[in-house]
Amino acid sequence: MGEIKTIGLLTSGGDAPGMNAAIRAVTRTAIYHEMKVKAIYRGYKGLITGEIVEFKTQNVSNIIQQGGTILKTARCDEFKTAEGRKMAYDTLVREEIDALIVIGGDGTLTGARIFASEYDYPIVGLPGTIDNDIYGTDSTIGYDTALNTIIEAVDKIRDTASSHDRLFFIEVMGRDAGFLALNGAIASGAEAAIIPEIATEVDQLEDLIKNGFRKTKNSSIVLVAESEITGGAMHYADRVKKEYPEYDVRVVILGHIQRGGSPSAYDRILASRLGEASIEALLDGQRNILIGIDDDRIVAVPFSKAIKNDKPIDPDLMKVVKILSI
């Protein structure tokens, strides 16, 4: 790999609080090492269309506290094709970009891995997703902020749940992973978490109603991941209405509120550390890796490992929810 003089930077997939902090860290670390930074707008789509602007240090001033991503993001089906990736490569060559840093989730990293292997091109990925479902890193950029948003919402909902003796099913994000639902349940004192990794069966729901609601409590809150596997909050609310019509059931779908807002201190620090480390990795000759954090230490994980492996849920956390819900 030749000397890297210019890096490209993009955010892709779903936005996550802390992406701007990562953009700031990557940009300023690169400039510190006398490299040029070319910001690519709207993810892989902007890489194909050539929506690229050179960034100076002032371009990333006053953004560390902002949610979302100043580089915008977009889904790009065209990048999934060989023709689209060829157009993207041509753009990189034309712009004289020597290496690429991408911030996003599993889909973003998958695209990066394919592109890197096709064109023998150096890419470093940063885990930016509220779902926290990237293997090889303890936490992803945006997860902590989203979790705190969920907790704030559940705290408010519990007030009205208690006032009206209601059972609330609260749907949170996590199409393929239950980290938000599970840890949100523990942090908010919810009675249960329904997650795709551990599908809740009929007898488990009955156990929840009998032990968690009937015996000791006038109100209950259950967090449900939005996954097709779980069926979502509406599915369980409908079941309770049919099987236990005596209960006053309500559904709240938190939706995209979980993605927004100013990033927490943890996400700002995490994004800053990972962003700085991504440039250092390129300078060390590393490529086609995810920069993550493990036991508070920066780690480099090969794309093949980060994408291939599913991040496991700690089963002990389900036990914690059950025990503390009595």
Tell me the C-alpha distance between 94 and 124, whole Å. Answer: 20
Say how far apart CA 252 and CA 321 lie, in whole Å.
20
Active site residue 295: no
Q: Cα–chain-centroid distance for residue 249? A: 30
3-state DSSP assignment of residue 112: helix
Token couple for 38: 């070319």
Alpha-carbon gap, residue 178 to 78, rounded angstroms: 30
Q: Which amino acid is at 234?
A: M
Q: What phi, psi does 110 have (nearest 5°)?
A: -65, -45
Catalytic residue among 131, 133, 144, 267: 131
* Strands (E) located in the chain: 6-11, 36-40, 52-55, 99-104, 123-127, 167-172, 192-194, 220-225, 249-253, 289-294, 297-302
Residues 6+ apart with CB under 8 A from 44: 10, 12, 74, 76, 78, 79, 84, 88, 111
**Nearest CA among 178, 208, 176, 215 for reference residue 317:** 178
Token reading at 218: 């006038």
- Helix ranges restricted to H, 120-262: 143-164, 179-188, 202-207, 232-243
Instruction: Work out the angle at residue 299's Cα, subtended by the Cα atoms of residues 293 and 304, and round it to the nearest 5 degrees.
Output: 105
Annotated active-site positions, please?
A: 131
